[in-house]
Chains A and B, each alone.
Chain A
Amino acid sequence: MEGLERIIKEHPFFAGLPGEFCQLICGCAKNARFEAGQYLFHEGEPANEFYLLREGRVALQLQDPGRGAVIFQTLGPGEIVGVSWLIPPYRWTYEAKALETVRAIAMNAFCLRQKCEADHDLGYDMMKRFMPVLIERLQATRLQILDVYGAHA
């Protein structure tokens, strides 16, 4: 547990996390490893976990009939995979595939949601960490939707 606590504290996403919160969320954490080509999750499945990436890159992608998988974002060490666990109905809206060997901390979403409900200070801290990630990804998505490099640009 001590190792997990240290890893979580050192992960950029949890920079500055108060010690008591770290102990709380450590109870929801475990090590995870995925080989290249292995899926972290598929679209439509319950969003039971999210991942703090430590090593390796992950592709987020959607299946498009006729085109196959379309990658729209890649994530690497220091970043997190998965925000669907925050909002009902807690299901993945895309799939995540390891592009290379990935080492991560998997956080049990049900466990963490319960702890956030029981301790709103922890919940608020978590929201403050996830909101910038959500905003950054929303803004990036806007740029991608605008197709700014297209022929009209």
Chain B
Amino acid sequence: MPDDAAAWPSPMVPRIARVRRRFPEGPKVWTLEIEEDGGAGMSFAPGQFNMLSVFGVGEIPVSMSGDASDASCIVHTIRAVGPVSAALAGLESGDILGVRGPFGMGWPMAEAEGHDVVIVAGGLGLAPLRPALYHLLCRRSCFGKAVLLYGARSPEDILFRHELDTWAREQIIDAVVTVDHARSSWNGHAGAVTTLIPRAGFDPKRAIALVCGPEVMMRFAITALRSAGVSAQAIYLSMERNMKCAAGLCGRCQFGPVLVCRDGPVFRFDSLRSLLAIKEL
């Protein structure tokens, strides 16, 4: 402990930040650009998360969804489903909030260099993967084939539509979007995102897969990836559990022998394989 303990920010004390910009992404989904008071920037790794608090309401973990190379602005994409997320999503430009973080282990971007990268996202799961996509696009020549397979509920629920269109149009990555159901005016893909995996055209022997979405969807995606020939050691997934302290102290997010906040949220599949089958967890 240094002499001047106050100089060391406690991971348990929120820092004050303000909403710089807020914009809608889809039904009940908002993206917040925030900056800390005093202009302090934040470095983070793709896949890490912050604890965001609305004072007087509560605190929840939210993954970063912006570009990790831009430390001046922290970006979070939030779906209003509970009291805290609804309060966060309802913040306007200039409103204050609390920020703790960044926390957790992120996506294995360094290990993925030299490999094909297959990103499988479902629903809001695209948000924690977007920093990984930015990283991949920024260092595109360091990676092999890059594939994004994204499943959404309906065309109206597709996140980051403008960027997806740009990536697909410029053919920087193979971005395929599918929806569970759509009106007849929809001209894109329909069906479960997992059905895209066998047809994605990557080399399973040199691919690293990053998977994020609802746990059921991730289990199906892992089955499809394994059937395609991707090894268990090459599949990474982002787990979600109820996190409170985010610093590995309270045990609220314990998942068998691991703490999701400290040891995750990104895990290599082979380290969790036996745990995913235990319904009590």
Contact = CB atoms under 8 A, between A and B. Distances in A.
B216 A143 contact: yes
Contacts of A69: 183-184
Contacts of A70: 181-184
Contact of B190 (A72, A78, A148, A149): A72
A59 interface: yes
A149 B122 contact: yes
Interface residues of B, number: 31
A151 B194 contact: no
Interface string B181-217: 1111011111110110001000000000000011011
Interface stretch (B36-44, B149-157, B243-251): B149-157
Given A99-B187, A140-B191, A151-B81, A146 B181 contact: no
Interface in A91-119: 97, 99
Interface string B97-128: 00000000000000000000000001110000
B241 interface: no
A138 B182 CA distance: 19
Interface of B is mostly: mixed
A74 B214 CA distance: 22
Contact of B182 (A71, A97, A152): A71
Contacts of B195: 136-137, 140
A149 B152 contact: yes
Interface residues of A, number: 31
A150 interface: yes
Interface in B128-176: 151-153, 157
Interface in A18-69: 57, 59-61, 67-69
Contact of A71 (B81, B124, B181, B220): B181
Among A69, A143, A147, A150, the most chain B Cβ lie within 10 Å of the Cβ of: A143
10 contacts: A68-B184, A72-B180, A73-B191, A74-B190, A74-B191, A140-B191, A148-B214, A149-B122, A153-B124, A153-B214
Given A137-B195, A147-B153, A149-B157, 14 more contacts: A59-B190, A69-B184, A70-B184, A71-B182, A71-B183, A72-B180, A72-B191, A74-B178, A74-B188, A97-B184, A148-B123, A149-B124, A149-B152, A149-B180
